[in-house]
Each structure stands twice: as C-alpha cells, then as structure tokens.
Chains A and B, each alone.
Chain A
Amino acid sequence: MDSERKFLMGNEAVALGACHAGVSLGVGYPGTPSSEILAYLNHFGGKAQWSPNEKVAAEVGLGVAFGNGRAMVTMKHVGLNVAADALFTAAYSGVDGAYVLAVADDPGLASSQNEQDTRRYAVAAGVPLLDPSDSQDAYDFTRLAFDISARWHIPVILRLTTRVCHSGSVVVPDVPVQNLPAPHFTRNIKQRVMVPGHARPAHRRLRQKLKEIERWNNDEGPNREVLGDGRLGIIASGVAAQHAAEAAPDASLFKVGMAYPLPVERIIEFCAKHEKNAAIEENDPYMNELLKSYGAPLTVMPEYMRFGELNVARIRRLLDGAPEPEHAVPPGKPPGLCKGCPHKRTFELLKKHGCIVSGDIGCYTLAALPPLEAMDMQICMGASIGMGVGLRQVLPAAEARKVVSVIGDSTFVHSGLTGLAEMAYNVPPTGHVVLILDNSTTAMTGQQEHPGTGRRLDGSPTGQLDYARVATAMGIDNVVTYDPVKDAEPFEAALVDALRKDSLSVFVVKRPCILAAARKGAKG
C-alpha cells in the first residue's frame, strides 16, 4: 500500500516521512510555511501537539529524545531564533533516540518579517542540515534526518522553504521502520548536564561528530550529480536545484542534499570537470562564500541573487550575468483584514484616539496597511509589550500617554507573558495600556489551537489559560474583558480613561475570528 505513488505537498511529505521514521512526538508552533506539518502528522496517525512557542517545543522534543524517543520539532525560520537557546547546547549534549528540527525559510517573504537563512544556524550551532528540493526529497530527507540523528546522536535540521512546503509533487514512499527500541531513561549526567566541566569535552565531541558526518556526506551523502556537456557546472540545493535543471538543461548539476557539513571535496572535484562553475542558492550566499574559501573556481554571482525567491527566469539571468529587469510586476491587491473581522473595530478605535500603536505578529498586523494604517511598529513575536513599555519610558508624558500595545492571544501566550512581567516590574511613569486581541485561535497561520483555546491540536479538550487572571496575578489592577462589537461603548470609555491615567491597564478584547467561527459552524 505504502509503495504506491502519491501526490503530496512538501509539508505532507515531511509528516509522512516522520511517521514512517517512527516519530514518537511531533511538536511545534505554527508559522507559515511550516504550519501544516503537524496537522498532517496527526492526520497520518502520529502524535502531534502545539506548544506555546518554539523554544518550549524544542525543549519538549529534547525530553523525548533524552528518553530515547524520536522527536520532530516544527517551526518557521524566525521560530528558530526563539528555539536557538535549546538547540545550541543540545548540539553539545547530543541526544538519544532522535531529534529533528523541521525549519521553514521564507525567501521572498511570502508571509514573514525577514529573509533569514537557517543554514547559518546549522553552521553556528554545529548541527547537520538537509535541504530538500521537492516532496520526494522532503519525504526521503525527513527519514534520513532521523537516521543521521540516531546514528550520530546529534540534532539534525531539515531546512524547508516556502516552495518546498507549499509545492506538491509525486512521492513514492518507502517501507516504514519497524521494531524501534521503546523509550526508556538511562542516566548520563556528564552528557546531559551542561556545566562548564561537562560542556568543554562535549564541544570536542561535537566537532569530532561533524568531521565524521562531513566524511560521510562526501562519500555517501544524499547529493546527486548529473553530468552535462562539460561547459557549465551548477551547484545548487533546495528548490533552486529544480529551477536550475530547467533553466540550464545542458549544464551539469551537483544537487546538494546535505548543505552542512557541505561535501566540499566532492564539489571541488565536480568543478574540475567544467570550464565554468556557478553555485545557485536562495537567501544568503552561504555555499558561494564557503566554497570560495576552499578555492573552488566559482563565477561571482550578482548581489541580487540573495533577494527574493529564485525561479527559472532569474536563474537564466544569473547565469548570463544579466541585470534584473527594472520593470517590476505591478503589485496585486494587498491582503487585508477579513470583512467582519473583530480586530477592525479595535484598530478604528485606536486610530480615532490618535494612539501610537506598538503592534505584534498576526492577522492584525494587516491593520498597519491602508486603509487603517493603525499600527506603528512590528518586529517579532511578543515585542509589542516591550516596545510599548520602552516608548513610555522615554517619551514626554503627553506623547507617552498615547502609547498602546496590541497583541493577539496566541502571540501573547508565545512571548507576551514575559513582556507583561516587565511592564509590571518596571512600570513606566505614565503607566501603560495593553490590549490582548483574543480571537480564540492562531488565525493568521490557519486557525490552529493554542494553550488559550482550551483545545489541543487534535481538537480534544484541555485546560485553558486565563489571560485576565494571569495579568491580575502579575500585579496589574485594571484588567477587564470586553467584546469589541457588543461592548463597543464601555470599551471605548474604558480605553479613553486608561489612556488618561498613569497606571497599568490590560484589556482582553475578546471576540472569535469569523473564519474560525465559520469553520466551527460548518463542522457541527
């Protein structure tokens, strides 16, 4: 049955690969383009759950792996900034079982705040990184990531990109693994308690493992070489390898499967077979820089290669050394808040009262775009509260009193709790006002559950975080919940009053997302 060919999205292929690799637990935080992996894993019968944020997910996964289980942790590229603290030292400690981080980059920023390159994290932390180019690779490399992690007792990053996650292609699955050892705990204090005396030898062990893995990658890694007419050799990985094969069908292609440690020896041998060589990659010129430092004879690529996604036409231009055309595609209709979105009323109110709005990440970030233009800053998950408090610390009182922080429910659970603690601890001279925009779902990424919804990933009921009680427990006196539509008048009055006072206020602005409500209605 499982050897049949299937048509799978990249994220679906990762989930199936994890299932077939015997994953004990999939855990993560939603983030485009990675969000569907765990829902698919649940669909395929694997155990999957959402964590409050990526760091917690990475830690839960580490516990699974320390217990000799097989963990997969999913996140988008910026999620790894949050989880990095766990990753860097888990690279030292190593793992039992297996520990795979599926991290999705977003070159071209289809739905992200930056174009950071996860391959840099693999280098910085010292963990192997696999770079699939389509759904078959996504399936195969997920399984390989578990194998490598189990073999070398090391965390492994499966680096995805938007066009791998959200492209569909044909997959022929392999036979699922059988008879994995059951999870159990074996005490090993020196290897798992990273005090300096234990971490120093652990660092040496890590570097030794990476040397072995580099040797393996050169000898038998998941890299493929297709020879052309000998004039041009292209080195590429990820979806860029698929574009390159189409853009230059007569060229040789060295398709890099494991991008860290890079199979440098093999690539230099490959380059020697061609008159001219070029390394094509999305995001940072990581391979170009590294290969050049080893003396690989590569054509210098134009700077524009690092901006945006690559495609067949752009790669043809890169290979020709041609500039990017100046006449860009006209922008389409920009996204906006849905008709009837409960956030709209809140932002109209903030605009009406001339607020300086410190914003956060979610659907409501769209309030920054015309016609509302009612958000003044947005940087990363949870930053609304810290930035708002910072503004209030320095602005003249009259201006400071206009500052409001707005944060969504899922984002608040992700990274807002510590911001609230800061606000209660270092109270600004004019106090502060925080709006928790509670639409009872992680709306932007496709309406996932979180610790504030009272339901787990599979929809089963569980405990529910109470934002108002949390704020009260942190020492904030004025905490009130309003429905922005039904309680429009009292909410406005309370907001105006809070902006005037020099004390702390938290308003939970609660009304369900209309998309989630529609979906719930359709279900039952």
Chain B
Amino acid sequence: MTINVKIAGLGGMGVLKSSLILAEVAFQEGYDVKKSEVHGMAQRGGSVCSDVRFGNAVKSPMIPEGAVDYLLLFEEADMPLYQRDINETTRILRASLIDAAQLPSRKSLNVAMLGALSALLSIPQTRWVDAIHRLFPDKLRAANDGAFALGFAAGKEFL
C-alpha cells in the first residue's frame, strides 16, 4: 500500500520545502519513500508541484495518473492542472482551508498545509514537529509551530 501525496503551488510558495519535510517524516517512520520535483525554470513563479510517495516498496518516483490520495493545493486557480491526477476518493486540501489572517507569516502557508495533512495521516505529531524544527532555521521555529497548529486544527475540522 503506497500513500501518494501531491503538493502543488507556484514557485516561491514553499512547495519543495514542504515536500522535503513530508518525505523526511515518512522516512523517519521507516517507510520506503520517493519524492520527485522539478527545479530551475519552473521555480521562477511558475506552476510547480512535487510528488511524495511512501509505503513498503515504492517504484516510480512520480504518482501515476489518477492515483493521488492527498492533493495539497497552495494555488487554487491551478486545480485544472491536476484534474487527471485525482480520483473520486482523493482528499483535496486547499489553501482556503487555512485562515490566512491567522497565519504567523505569509511564508508559513506551506507548514500550515502540512499541519492540515498531518491531521489526516496516522503519523505521530512529534515526527512532524521534529522534522520542521530540523529543516528550518531556528528563528522560524515559533512561526512554524503556530502555523502547524493552525493547519492541524483546520485539518481536524476537514476530517
């Protein structure tokens, strides 16, 4: 059983960073993990997405068409781009799930989105918090903790 998470947004929104954290969390849980993303040209504000897959044994690093279990959509206008990736059971977590006014900073949307996802996955909260602390500079710790909690609460409601 492989869990397929696609994180999508625009360059500069923290898509790649959040996929790194998710991959790290799944890796620390002992899963086989694959993550795939595109750099370079795509990062200059253009549409960008990253696939994270984890389970017992993952083959392709890219999620097959229609096999996305969780779609994290940072830029809602981009939904048509991912129509072929989803199926009727895909859980779509949109940025509007998070109350932007309550975000500690505009930059922390990606961490809040991970918080929301964490409410839907059975991975201990400490794993997430550890990975976020490890992969961001210390000075962002308070903001990220706040954003993650905000996202987690939103995710619980979404559940």
Contacts and interface: CB of A to CB of B under 8 A. Distances in A.
Q: Which of B39, B47, B75, B78 has the most CB of A within 10 A?
A: B39
B135 to A, nearest CB: 12
Interface stretch (A162-170, A268-276, A459-467): A162-170
Interface of B: 10-11, 20, 23-24, 27, 32-47, 58-62, 64-65, 75, 77-78, 80-81, 83-84
A106 to B, nearest CB: 9
A32 B40 contact: yes
15 contacts: A32-B39, A33-B40, A110-B41, A111-B39, A168-B23, A239-B61, A330-B81, A332-B78, A335-B42, A335-B45, A336-B45, A336-B46, A338-B44, A366-B44, A446-B39
Nearest to B83: A329
Contacts of A162: 38
A335 B35 contact: no
Given A7-B27, A336-B44, 7 more contacts: A7-B24, A32-B39, A168-B34, A168-B61, A243-B60, A246-B59, A329-B84
Interface in A240-292: 242-243, 245-247
Contacts of B58: 169
Given A163-B61, A243-B60, A336-B46, A168 B38 contact: no
Contacts of A335: 11, 41-46
A110 B27 CA distance: 27
Interface string A400-420: 000000000000000000000
Contacts of B23: 7, 168
Given A110-B42, A166-B38, A366-B44, A312 B11 contact: no
B41 A332 contact: no
A167 B35 contact: yes
A246 B63 CA distance: 10
A371 interface: no
Interface string A1-14: 00000010100000
A59 to B, nearest CB: 26
A163 B36 contact: yes
What 8 A-B pairs come out closest when comparing CB atoms? A332-B47, A111-B40, A32-B40, A335-B46, A335-B44, A312-B64, A167-B61, A111-B41
Nearest to B10: A333
A147 to B, nearest CB: 26
B95 to A, nearest CB: 15
Contact of A333 (B27, B35, B38, B46): B46
Contacts of A223: none
Contact of B40 (A243, A247, A332, A444): A444
A368 to B, nearest CB: 12
Contacts of A134: 34, 61
Given A330-B80, A333-B10, A170 B39 contact: no
Given A166-B37, A329-B81, A333-B78, A243 B62 contact: yes
Contact of A313 (B10, B24, B65): B65
A330 B77 CA distance: 12
A7 B41 CA distance: 25
A445 interface: yes
Contacts of B34: 134, 167-169
A335 B46 CA distance: 4
A116 B40 CA distance: 18
Contacts of A445: 40
Contact of B33 (A168, A338, A366): A168
Nearest to B41: A111
Given A167-B35, A168-B33, A330-B81, A245 B59 contact: yes
Contacts of B47: 332-333
Nearest to B20: A168
Contacts of B44: 335-338, 363, 366
Interface string A97-138: 000000000000011000000000000000000000010000
Contacts of B33: 7, 168-170
A163 B53 CA distance: 14
Nearest to B24: A7
Interface in A334-378: 334-338, 363, 366
Given A7-B23, A336-B46, A242 B60 contact: yes
B130 to A, nearest CB: 14
A242 B61 contact: yes
A89 interface: no
B153 to A, nearest CB: 29
Nearest to B43: A335
